Chains A and B, each alone.
Chain A
Amino acid sequence: EVQLVESGGGLVKPGGSLRLSCAVSGFTFSSYNMNWVRQAPGKGLEWVSSISNSGSYIYYADSVKGRFTISRDNAKNSLYLQMTSLRAEDTAVYYCARSAPFVDYGGKTYYYFDYWGQGTLVTVSS
């Protein structure tokens, strides 16, 4: 059974830092790209960051670029999100999600999110 379990959330002051973790099981972690997606209270979903299976390719939303760092440890089956210079608008539930491949008619591969963890709440407040 595929499982993704986030941890590390909590209350932090503006300007502070926090490191989120996502422990996975039930699949070969090193074969999959991974992602972080967040959801502010009462709001919709916002993609935050993605990392390729080897860690060679990394992408960030403009809203977090330069402040957040995604990483992974394939030996530990874990995904991470280091968050610095936190702002009130970063307050959200943070989900980790696995990418699954979709090959289009032209043979190009795209990635959607097939499994999600239950999320961890990050609250940025003084």
Chain B
Amino acid sequence: EIVMTQSPATLSVSPGERATLSCRASQSVSSNLAWYQQKPGQAPRLLIYGASTRATGIPARFSGSGSGTEFTLTISSLQSEDFAVYYCQQYNNWPKTFGQGTKVEIK
């Protein structure tokens, strides 16, 4: 099983600042990586797939990069609605595993 490790566990950021979230895979997943956003009481929402492709309707301030084992989600200028938990997921191998999540909170 591929283990996905996200860092940091919690990121404190002021509105308007840049946020950088990391995700590491225990073995290569090529570019088969997705990022999801989840707000309290809501279902996860797809942000990024293919490591760097924004999903439909996702603002340009969200960007993804990386391949192999190291991936990054960047939020260029945090808006109030962006404070949430973010999960990475590899879909290269079965089982399709998720990271433990990074909570982005208001500083």
Binding site for B on A (CB under 8 A): 37, 44-47, 50, 59, 61-62, 95, 100, 102, 104, 110-119
Contact = CB atoms under 8 A, between A and B. Distances in A.
Contacts of B55: 114
Contacts of A115: 46
Given A45-B36, A45-B38, 4 more contacts: A45-B87, A102-B91, A104-B31, A118-B42
A110 B100 contact: no
Contacts of A113: 34, 36, 44, 46, 89, 91
B50 A102 contact: yes
19 contacts: A37-B44, A44-B101, A45-B38, A45-B44, A45-B87, A46-B98, A95-B43, A100-B49, A102-B32, A104-B30, A112-B46, A112-B49, A112-B89, A113-B89, A114-B55, A115-B46, A116-B44, A116-B45, A117-B43
A110 B101 CA distance: 22
A103 B31 CA distance: 10
Contacts of B31: 104
Interface of B: 30-32, 34, 36, 38, 42-46, 49-50, 55, 87, 89, 91-92, 94-101
A64 to B, nearest CB: 11
B39 to A, nearest CB: 12
A112 B44 contact: no
Contacts of B50: 102
Contacts of A44: 87, 98-101
A-B CB proximity, top 10 nearest: A116-B43, A45-B98, A112-B34, A47-B96, A112-B49, A110-B32, A112-B91, A44-B100, A44-B101, A114-B46
